[in-house]
Amino acid sequence: MAETVHMIDSEVFLAFSTYATIVVLKMMLMSLMTSYFRLTKQVFSNLEDTNLAKTTEDRKKLVRVDPDVERVRRCHLNDLENIVPFVVIGLLYALTGPDLSMALLHFRVFVGSRFIHTVAYVMALPQPTRALAFGVGLFITFSMAYRVLTTALFL
């Protein structure tokens, strides 16, 4: 990490910015997908969200749990659990000055794996599609963490 100052201007850092933004935007789309399912299926978590229904009795019935909504929410939580580590460790990795081609390989494979993970989760594709996509993403983040710890270790 001796020349990190110059690294922030580097192509590696631009690539990190691009892929991190794309994958975080993908994660944010899960919020919109949850809202879409909640509205089209009329499934809510809060009584105050049901104000399009007429009677109080009707409104209470709309506060319920739906398997499709829960599926999207599990996918969203899995994104948080995996994309946040990628962003944190990826930022530090970008500052260690890796080769551009190696960095691009890491970023592209990770982002691709998370898009496949989302499709596999939301469409309930047969396993091990989703498990493999999850595992590839995990492996990429571990690989970047390995470089950060071997380059910058200071305990």
Question: Which residues are near a copy of itself by CB under 8 A?
Answer: 1-6, 8-9, 11, 13-15, 17-18, 20-22, 24-25, 27-28, 30-32, 45-49, 51, 71, 74, 76-77, 80-82, 84-85, 87-89, 92, 95, 121, 124-127, 130, 134, 138, 141-142, 145, 148-149, 152-155
Query: Measured from the CB atom, is 23 or 57 closer to a copy of itself?
Result: 23
CA 80, CA 60: separation in Å to the nearest integer? 30
CB of 139 to a copy of itself, least distance (A): 11
Tokens of residue 82, six digits = 């995996």
CB of 85 to a copy of itself, least distance (A): 5
CA gap 154, 131 in Å, rounded: 34
Cα distances (Å, whole numbers) of residue 101 to 30, 109, 121, 153: 30, 12, 30, 23
User: Least distance to a copy of itself from the beta carbon of 130, Å?
Assistant: 8
Residue 144 C-beta: closest distance to a copy of itself, Å: 9
44 SS3 class: strand
Q: Among the residues of the chain, which ranges form H helices?
A: 4-7, 11-41, 56-62, 67-95, 100-122, 129-152
Q: Measured from the CB atom, is 57 or 65 closer to a copy of itself?
A: 65
Cβ nearer to a copy of itself, comparing 57 with 154: 154
Phi, psi dihedrals of residue 26, rounded to the nearest 5°: -60, -40
